[in-house]
Structure 1
Amino acid sequence: MKTQLGKQGWQCILYNTQHFRVYEIQLTLNDHANHNIVFPYDALLFTAEGQVFIQSNLEEVSLKANQAVWVQHALPIRCVTISPITRLFVVVFLGQAKRSNPRFDRFASGTEDKKQHSNGTTQWTAKNKDVAKIDWHMFPALHQEPFYYLKASEQFILPVNTKDDLHIQLPRQSSQSVHDAGILIESGTTRRLINRSEKPITFLTIATPYPKQSRIIKLGRSS
């Protein structure tokens, strides 16, 4: 259910699980340009569209699309859009209050640890082993990964620069497009992601708790 922030702005809870809560927020320049929020637990704020200023009593940072900040628990912040429309996703890690730095820790794809894999994919990783593993992935055209699962971590998957081209497939099922509001995958769920486009696409994944093991590849016939 959406909470209206003016006529065109709104906030809603997309997912609410044992480990995290995902909010989507839309701010509009001519209607509801700013929004004051505070979260009881450590959080991640990600800009999916537009540009926004994030302000606290200590500092102000500007975030463009595909950039993010860690936010300390109980820290009052103000989000001010400077674009006609700004879409934000906030992931609140329930029960986590370990972050002790009230300053924003900004990061983005292209600035984090980068890995280029032999299959043509590119991955940028922002690690916070107390909370979660954040990855940006860039798939080449028409790429599909093997079936895999995460043993004890939930995963939020969010398309970044694509619409309807990122697909997810579960074993013995047809693939389905991942909506631009993302999808939640429960721990232990086998799946694979597929780029249906003839161009590279980028998407974000957030896995929590931090995976003690990497992806576990499913061997054998899964489709």
Structure 2
Amino acid sequence: YWTEWWYLRSGSEIQYEFNASGQIDFFIADGYDFYDWEQEGSPTFSWSETNVNQSSGTFVVGISQDYYIVWYNEGVSSVNVDFTINYTATGVINFTGIYTQEVQEGITLSGSYSVPSSGNWYFFIYFDPMLSPEESTTITFDVTYNTGVTSQERWFDIQWILIIVLVVVIIILLAAVVARRGQKKLKLKTPEQPSTKPSPYKKTPTTAPEKVQKCKRCKAPIKPDSKFCTNCGGKIEG
């Protein structure tokens, strides 16, 4: 078999394309599944194709871990495979100018390293469980570093930023005070408007009910200034 290996973070992509002279198996697996496959186990691959001569596609990384791309020939005769692999890495640290030292079991290592340029530098220890027969490994280390910059030099670097921030705060406070005084001068007292609510003590005048005139004979009501009763026809006197 032939394999390519990368450590990729979540969100990265692997784009592959290959052509083989015979049928092969192709799969993408993490480190544990790849190790299980080498030990003739029954792993579940992240992506797999069996008995293919050619294929292409894009695999999106879901979990940040090691990924192995494997072409496997189960036949007796040899198979030639032409492949192209492109990957887009997300959140990967740039290790340009990395300084490495390999430490074997039971060996104590000491030394120093001078950083050639400014920027972010990382110290880390990588342990590959696939290369160790032990279930766990204890690593003890001490790290000391000298930045080469004194506290006084750091203060000179940031003092101008602090001065600019202080000046901006003072300008904002002065502008707020001036605006406050201007509002006090322009503020006028609003005259009170007379109340339109009726007084609870004011009485509404009432009118006496109009007196109804009746016929002296039949007692039927008659209109004022009538000369005859509309009910009995009698003459209205007085």
Same fold (TM over 0.5): no
| Bigger radius of gyration | 2
Normalising by structure 2, we get a TM-score of 0.23
The structure where strand makes up a greater share of residues is 1
